[in-house]
Amino acid sequence: MLRVAFLGRSGHAYVALRSMAETEDAELVAYATIPPEEPPDYFDAWKDQMGDAKGYDSWQELVDQEKPDLVQVSGAYYQNGVVAAYAAERGCHVLVEKPIATTLDQLATLKTAVAQSGVRLTAMLGTRLAPPYQAAKRAIDDGAIGEPLLVYAQKSYKFGTNRPDWYGVREKYGGSIPWITIHMIDMINFLLADPFASVVAMHKTFTVGGTHPECEDVMSMLFELRNGGAAAVNGDYLRPPGAGSHGDDRIRIVGAEGIVEVMAGRTTLIDKDGERELPLEETEDNIFLNFVNHLAHGAEHVIGPNDAFRSTEVALKARDAADTGQTVSLLDSPYGAA
């Protein structure tokens, strides 16, 4: 039985919480907020769902005293890499909100902590498990589209009205490329096995700037792929309140012999035989349970040991490219295939 602790309950911590009841392999033993962005009583809203787990005033004290097997880290984004490194250094496996770090220095420190203590780190990049993307992955791996040459991917999100103030502060928020479009960067990393060679990018704050001055709401990236192909990735925080869904995730991959596309939860393949929807397999798609199953039983985890590091590195460098207007190389990564 894995002893699990929650450090912070921001971001997608609820994804882990709601799945605790669905596994016999993990139990929630403790929790603590991550100050100063999270208030001391931040877990009160979840009191009914925390069972006998013990609340701590200090997340460091929790880690030191409880020595959990697995911690879920989800505070303000600039803190996650630091908190995760602290826990990893002390032998905890870690599930971290994405981005797992908001600076390249944080990322390197986290990598060292994980490597030296031999724990496993993963990230809230569970879109990989969604059936439409799994279907796309199978098609690509089966050679249905031949060599992938051209990609378009997008994330379109609603900003809503209750984002924390620190979303408006770059050094706390980290930027919308690492927060939003990282999902599609990671999806390209997943589907095309780290094809990234370089990136140019743009981002800018328009309508959300009134309340959150440094929160970009428009992002656009052009990646050169190692084989000379290209990937365009658009992201926005401008999805109108009236939209029927929170997001509009898409990816379209044109290969030498076919095109596969995920849009509106469906996966379509076009090849020499025509155009058709691919069957989706209803499988367990919770990233927390997938990770617990890996730790408890050695089942394959959908995010490889270096994947979260690499996807975060690419996102941070894309953000740098947007900040500077320069082309940034993505080759010779310290976070290459394990």
Calpha distance 127→234 (Å, rounded): 17
Q: Which of 241, 282, 297, 338 binds its own copies (CB under 8 A)?
A: 241
**Contact residues for 322 (Cβ-Cβ < 8 A; gap 6+):** 177, 201, 202, 203, 216, 219, 221
Work out how close the CB of 233 gets to its own copies at its nearest, in angstroms, rounded to a whole number: 8
Using CA atoms, how far residue 270 sits from 175, 179, 241, in Å, is 35, 32, 33
| Closest distance of CB 203 from its own copies, Å | 8
- The smaller minimum CB distance to its own copies, of residues 151 and 295, is found at 151
Decide if residue 299 touches its own copies (CB under 8 A): no
Least distance CB 143 / its own copies (angstroms): 14
| Residue number with CB closer to its own copies (46 or 152) | 152
* Among 21, 45, 48, 242, contact with its own copies (rule: CB under 8 A): 242
What is the Cα–Cα distance from 50 to 142, expressed in whole angstroms?
A: 43
Toward its own copies, which CB reaches closer, 118 or 274? Answer: 274
**DSSP H or E segment with residue 27:** strand 26-32
The residues with which 63 forms a beta bridge, in sequence order, are: none
Distance from C-alpha of 145 to C-alpha of 168, rounded to nearest angstrom: 41
Judged by CB under 8 A, the residue of 243, 299, 331, 337 near its own copies is 243
Helix (H, G, I), strand (E, B) or coil at 169: coil
The span from the CA of 332 to the CA of 316, in Å, is: 15
Binding residue count for its own copies, defined by CB under 8 A: 48
Tell which positions 115-174 bind its own copies, by CB under 8 A: 147, 149-150, 152, 154, 156
Compute the least distance from the CB of residue 131 to its own copies, in Å: 23
Exactly one of 16, 26, 258, 288 binds its own copies (CB under 8 A); that residue is: 258
Q: Which span (15-23, 92-100, 135-143, 223-231) binds its own copies, by CB under 8 A?
A: 223-231
Q: Which stretch binds its own copies (CB under 8 A): 59-67, 128-136, 241-249, 299-307?
A: 241-249
Concatenated DSSP letters of 42-81: GGGGGGGGSTTPEEES-HHHHHHHH--SEEEE-SSHHHHH
From the list 51, 160, 165, 206, which residue makes contact with its own copies (rule: CB under 8 A)?
A: 206
Work out whether 255 is an interface residue with its own copies (CB under 8 A).
yes
**Separation of alpha carbons 262 and 30, rounded Å:** 39
Interaction between residue 211 and its own copies (CB under 8 A): no
- Minimum gap (Å) between residue 267 Cβ and its own copies: 16
Q: Which is nearer to its own copies, 131 or 258 (CB)?
A: 258
Please state, in angstroms and rounded to a whole number, the distance separating the CA atoms of residues 144 and 260. 8
Q: Closer to its own copies at the Cβ: 254 or 289?
A: 254
Stretch that binds its own copies, among 73-81, 96-104, 106-114, 271-279 (CB under 8 A): 271-279
| Residue from 285, 114, 82, 253 nearest 184 by CA | 253
The DSSP-derived string for 198-255 is: EEEEEEE--GGGGTSTT---EEEEEEEETTS-EEEEEEES---TT-SSSB--EEEEEE
Q: Which residues bind its own copies (CB under 8 A)?
A: 147, 149-150, 152, 154, 156, 200-202, 204, 206-207, 217-222, 224, 228-234, 236, 238-244, 254-259, 270-275, 325, 327
